[in-house]
Structure 1
Amino acid sequence: MAAEVDIRRVLRLFRPYRGRLSVVGLLVGLSSLVALASPFMLREVLDVALPQGRTGLLTLLAAGMIGVAVATSVFGVLQTYISTGVGQSVMHDLRTAVYAHLQRMPLAFFTRTRTGEVQSRIANDIGGMQSTVTSTATSLVSNFTSVLATVIAMVALDWRLTAVSLIMLPFFVWVSRRVGRERKRITGERQRQMAAMSAIVEESLSVSGILLGRTMGRSRALTGQFADESRGLVDLEIRSSMAGRWRQSTIGIVMSAMPAVIYWAAGLTVSQGRPLVSIGTLVAFTTLQASLFRPMVQLLQTGVDVQSSMALFGRIFEYLDLEPDIEEKDETVPLGRVRGDVRFERVGFSYGPDAGTALDGIDIDVPAGTGLAVVGETGSGKTTLSYLVPRLYDVTRGRVTIDGVDVRDVSFADLADAVGVVSQETYLFHASVADNLRFAKPGATDEELREAARAAQIHDHIVSLPDGYDTLVGERGYRFSGGEKQRLAIARTILRNPPILVLDEATSALDTRTERAVQEAIDALAEGRTTITIAHRLSTVRDADQIVVLDHGRVAERGTHDELLALGGRYATLVSRDTTLSPTAA
């Protein structure tokens, strides 16, 4: 449940646009003042110009009333244009702020948060604010100014009739506040329901979701689940629309009846057999009264909308208030020309206070230009260890250094330039092959793309496609096989040319023949570079300068392939189980 929102925090969103909002306020004020002239001119028409047959005055008053209509329309268009621009700018700022903030969140946040939920916050929640953000400021200023000016004009016409008109105002305010609180609660429920629907759509209508649903025979069940969520949303939408509808209808009835009450009150107010209020004053007053009720109702409705939108602001601020676990320091240490010395110094790591220890007492030195292989059983901490170098996670104890500099003291940009990662889960965008490769180096030439693809043993396959490097890879790269996607990912990293490589099961999706070809490319790329390889297939690490065997987050063994085989410990056991490498093959 989102926390209560301080209205001052919402108002701060508009602070950069104070100048434009001041112009809107000026236009609103002018429009309200100009509009007030019409009832007074109408009184002169009815009390003076028509009874006395003064056609010149009548013509002048009629022209004035037309001029007022033109002026208020022009002012209205201008203020709408400016206020809409301000509102859209505020929404843009919010969307960008949320997206940028989420980019800084740790991997752990995304592992526990459904992608559809994140998308819903950015799209549905911020999108739901549109009418409130784009029109609220103008509506508040415009309607408040109109109400204030109209009340002053009504008092000038007749204070007694004004008192009769405003006697129900406290009741109207009370009703609107009650409705606003009710809609705020329903709005929060509705947005959570929309987030749940977005998550179902994102998960079940992706390529992976469709494949899983159909192969498991769950398509009909998924449709039923979506229908249930949609039905719940229908109920919330109806409740939101009908919240306080009867109470607000009472307001409408009272306001519609007020002109009749004014006529009745004016008829009772007589002196020497004649009403104290002239016909012209009475008509002008009821005209002002109508002008009062319209902005008053809108003002009350704006209050309801603002209260409802607080639930949306609360959900957005909830994300903005999340504290990133990994932050860049204000003053960072430049790496300069990276040699590639990597050092793990008494490293410990835990995913949380209740998660236990994932790594403990890791002390490894990887000299520049050498290769480290990390092996071990599933869950031993291999991938976690490799993610500490590019700082996808931060150590709990100890430190990881590059050329003697703690990675926590390095800027994110320098660290990304120094460390290239090819993970076991290859991600490709729904874009062309060339665009996916250029994600690593936006300014890369076509020749650089081809060289990187050749090094990754994927160039020949790309050029065999009908559109070559312009071929769309499809969502998450599903137009390519697992091995082809891995080679594209390797080519993408090669294009960046980092001095340190982290290969997390980089060849896990390749068949033995393709793996051998790609391994040759990786070996050529690793020449003179520091390489940290995480692998289950021990055939990919037998030539590493040093091999570390992890067991439950601790270093159990270390040495070369031959040394560890001779030791006859855990590594030898792993080798004996590896179908691509046996002890005799050494």
Structure 2
Amino acid sequence: MDTPQKKPGGRPPEERRRPNSAAEKQQAREVSLRRIGRLFTPYRWPLLLVVAIIVASSIVSLASPFLLRAVIDDALPHQNLRLLVWLVIGMIGVAAVTSAFGVVQTWVSTRIGQQVMHGLRTSVFAHLQRQSLGFFTRTRTGEVQSRITNDIGGMQTVVTSTATSIASNLTTTVATLVAMLALSWQLTLVSLVVLPPAILLSRRVARMRRSITAAQQRELADLNVTIEEGLSISGIQLSKTMGAGPAVVDRFTQSSERLVDLELRSQLAGRWRMATMSIIFAAIPAVIYLAAGLPMTAGAMTIGTLIAFTGLQGSLFRPLTGLLNVGVSLVSSLALFARIFEYLDLTVEVDDPADPVHVPEVRGHVRIEDVTFTYPGSETAAVAGVTLDVPAGTTLALVGETGSGKSTLASMVPRLHDPAAGRITIDGVDVRDMTLQELAGIVGVVSQETYLLHTTVRENLRYAKPDATDAEIEDAARAAQVHELISGLPEGYDTVVGSRGYRFSGGEKQRIAIARTLLRDPRVLVLDEATSALDTETERAVQRAFTELAKGRTTITIAHRLSTVRDADQIAVLDHGRIVERGNHESLLASEGRYAALAA
């Protein structure tokens, strides 16, 4: 296809790969917790069930310290075997009930989390499918893959367990505090002295990890790009022919080393601060024992109360620490949510109309009316004020030097781009007023860059028409002059084409692509250098097939080989996005203008 004189705009690759930290922090701040919460809205009833289970489990578990106090203060000193047995049964029962609650809670919460993850993945993938070609020309493939896999995968723990962790730890904390206050409000105040500094330290750690998480995801995207570029068929072929293998390995190694460093920084971020808090948490029971033994408090409580209280105190710090860690994880994950929401918020440049117009009976009359198009970032229009009329069933050929705008103009018929000015109609209906699905059924495209899926020939052809029968597939292959070739393979139509179709030659891939398009039976054909990869003999065969198939269809052909367009009903010669000549082969040769010069 024609390459615009200036690549579509956007930031330079290096800038896209490493945005400045200030912008990232601003982006992370803009991620609303309310928006994250809306991801869970469809699952509010299962979430309420989880919360109810957590509350019930916390209430039941509160019985344990009181049972322990009764064992130490009543059953054992008085050798009351009957009471001891019942207390032990009660302890076992509490453990069994809370364990059962835990299993149900884990199942429900994990299912909710995975459904949220599924929704995010599919939403991002579907939204990216709707993006225009311009987005993909300025975005690295590895970057897109990284956001769908690494970023969403990195959010999994937060999405799956955050809500339930908050509910569980908060409920346990409140319930434990109530029980501690019931046992001794004085010792409860001593236990809570460390809470304010713990919260402050956790906030600092969260901010540190958020910036590191953003850097990790960017580095993972770079690694994905290196893998995609270095291990694809085309990438391997390029590195081998250029002797660039060692350089590619070195690039991968350096990226992997940076990931190791970032992972270490992430794991150690604030670790000394949190370790200090752990030491303080561990020292609290000793302080409680000291407080209980002071002359002013001696004899104020029983041994059973003291033991039960210290057990509760240990139980209090676990959920408190859990809440603080959840806060750290949530703030750290804002960088991931920011990257995902950035893609979800992308404007769809070429989208279905709000009120689509249906074309009941397609004839294929194409009109290009004063169309202008400029690539983003370019100061020169790739197509400028072009007007053409292609009656149904006729053939238009677009010719001109590389960069003249031929492919850009043709790409607007199937709406790979939308014109900045003017319009393109089919049977009087603006293509922007049709749904993209209906337009794809009307306009078939065969480009010079053939892309085949890594599956069988049959499935590659059926990609165009999922419900196509084997007979229809073979008829399309015959029309494209490729049936005999496929049938002669050991596995016939079940032959796997290989990555990007490297099992076949360029001409063979081109004919398979032509068959795939013809299977849709479009009324309008756009052939962008469709025979460029074919040898002369095969080209003639395919041209004969196209001549037969073009009867009753409208065909727009782009070609450098003028021999392939000499029979076109009309030929338009483009230069710098404008039509400089128009006519048929004979009249254009007779005028001895630009076309005649190209034909010379």
Same fold (TM over 0.5): yes
Distance 1:268 1:429 in 2: 79
1:97-246 mapped onto 2 (5 Å cutoff): 97-246=123-272
Please give the secondary structure, in 2, of the residue aligned with 1:496: coil
Choose which of 395, 414, 422 in structure 2 pairs with 1:398. Answer: 422
Distance 1:474 1:522 in 2: 27
Q: CA deviation at 1:241?
A: 0.6
Choose which of 536, 548, 564 in structure 2 pairs with 1:540. Answer: 564
Residue 469 (structure 1) aligned with residue 517 (structure 2): no
CA separation of 1:269 and 1:412: change in aligned 2, threshold 3 A: farther
**Conserved in 2, the CA contact under 8 Å of 1:373 and 1:534?**
yes
**Conserved in 2, the CA contact under 8 Å of 1:269 and 1:276?**
no
Match of 2:96, as an amino acid?
Answer: V
Q: CA deviation at 1:9?
A: 0.7
**2:451 matched residue in structure 1:** 427
**Conserved in 1, the CA contact under 8 Å of 2:398 and 2:558?**
yes
CA RMSD of aligned residues (A): 0.9
Deviations 1:357-396 (A, max 9, x none): 1111101000000000000000000000001100110010
Q: CA deviation at 1:356?
A: 2.1
Question: Which stretch has the larger CA shift, 558-567 or 325-334?
Answer: 325-334
**2:68 matched residue in structure 1:** 42
Q: CA deviation at 1:352?
A: 2.2
Deviations 1:462-485 (A, max 9, x none): 011111000000000000000000
TM-score scaled by length of structure 1:
0.97
Deviations 1:110-156 (A, max 9, x none): 01111111000000000111111111111110000000110111001
CA separation of 1:59 and 1:545: change in aligned 2, threshold 3 A: same
Choose which of 329, 348, 351 in structure 2 pairs with 1:305. Answer: 329
1:485-496 mapped onto 2 (5 Å cutoff): 485-496=509-520
Choose which of 23, 32, 35 in structure 2 pairs with 1:9. Answer: 35
**1:460 matched residue in structure 2:** 484
Distance 1:240 1:485 in 2: 48
**Conserved in 1, the CA contact under 8 Å of 2:351 and 2:436?**
no
Distance 2:376 2:249 in 1: 37
Q: CA deviation at 1:354?
A: 4.0
Match of 1:76, as an amino acid?
Answer: G
Deviations 1:245-290 (A, max 9, x none): 000001110111111111001111646xx42011010001001011
Residue 568 (structure 1) aligned with residue 592 (structure 2): yes
Residue 263 (structure 1) aligned with residue 289 (structure 2): yes
**1:581 matched residue in structure 2:** none
**Conserved in 1, the CA contact under 8 Å of 2:455 and 2:498?**
yes
Question: Which stretch has the larger CA shift, 321-330 or 162-171?
Answer: 321-330
Distance 1:355 1:66 in 2: 78
Choose which of 340, 356, 359 in structure 2 pairs with 1:335. Answer: 359
Distance 2:235 2:161 in 1: 40
**Conserved in 2, the CA contact under 8 Å of 1:429 and 1:473?**
yes
Match of 2:450, as an amino acid?
Answer: T
**2:460 matched residue in structure 1:** 436
Residue 503 (structure 1) aligned with residue 527 (structure 2): yes
1:336-415 mapped onto 2 (5 Å cutoff): 336-352=360-376, 354-415=378-439
Choose which of 486, 494, 513 in structure 1 pairs with 2:537. Answer: 513
Distance 1:56 1:523 in 2: 100
Please give the secondary structure, in 2, of the residue aligned with 1:532: strand
Residue 531 (structure 1) aligned with residue 546 (structure 2): no
**1:580 matched residue in structure 2:** none
Distance 1:323 1:406 in 2: 21
Please give the secondary structure, in 1, of the residue aligned with 2:415: coil
Distance 1:442 1:509 in 2: 27
Deviations 1:429-453 (A, max 9, x none): 0000000000000011111111110
Distance 1:252 1:354 in 2: 59
Q: Which has the higher contact order (CA 8 A, sep 6+)?
A: 2
Gaps of at least 5 residues in structure 2 are: 1-18
Distance 1:269 1:418 in 2: 93
Distance 2:248 2:377 in 1: 36
Match of 2:444, as an amino acid?
Answer: G
Distance 1:306 1:16 in 2: 20
Q: How many residues are matched?
A: 574
Deviations 1:305-338 (A, max 9, x none): 1111111111101111111111211210101110
**Conserved in 2, the CA contact under 8 Å of 1:268 and 1:275?**
no
Give the share of equivalent positions with the same residue, in percent. Answer: 61
Choose which of 79, 87, 91 in structure 2 pairs with 1:61. Answer: 87
Distance 2:112 2:548 in 1: 55
CA separation of 1:314 and 1:269: change in aligned 2, threshold 3 A: farther
TM-score scaled by length of structure 2:
0.95
Please give the secondary structure, in 1, of the residue aligned with 2:454: coil
Please give the secondary structure, in 2, of the residue aligned with 1:338: coil
Distance 1:356 1:93 in 2: 42
Match of 1:403, as an amino acid?
Answer: D
Choose which of 483, 497, 505 in structure 2 pairs with 1:481. Answer: 505
Q: CA deviation at 1:353?
A: 5.7
Please give the secondary structure, in 1, of the residue aligned with 2:515: helix
Distance 1:225 1:442 in 2: 41
Match of 2:315, as an amino acid?
Answer: S
Question: Which stretch has the larger CA shift, 182-191 or 516-525?
Answer: 516-525
Q: CA deviation at 1:193?
A: 0.2
Match of 2:332, as an amino acid?
Answer: S
Deviations 1:47-97 (A, max 9, x none): 111112221111111100000000111101110111000101001000001
Match of 2:266, as an amino acid?
Answer: S
Distance 1:453 1:201 in 2: 35
Choose which of 4, 14, 23 in structure 1 pairs with 2:49. Answer: 23
Distance 1:39 1:410 in 2: 70
Deviations 1:523-580 (A, max 9, x none): 111111000001111111000000000000000000000000001000001101xxxx
Please give the secondary structure, in 1, of the residue aligned with 2:567: coil
Gaps of at least 5 residues in structure 1 are: 577-586
Distance 1:60 1:515 in 2: 92
Distance 1:290 1:355 in 2: 68
Residue 450 (structure 1) aligned with residue 464 (structure 2): no
Distance 2:529 2:404 in 1: 14
**2:7 matched residue in structure 1:** none
Please give the secondary structure, in 1, of the residue aligned with 2:62: helix
Distance 1:42 1:71 in 2: 17
**Conserved in 2, the CA contact under 8 Å of 1:83 and 1:138?**
yes
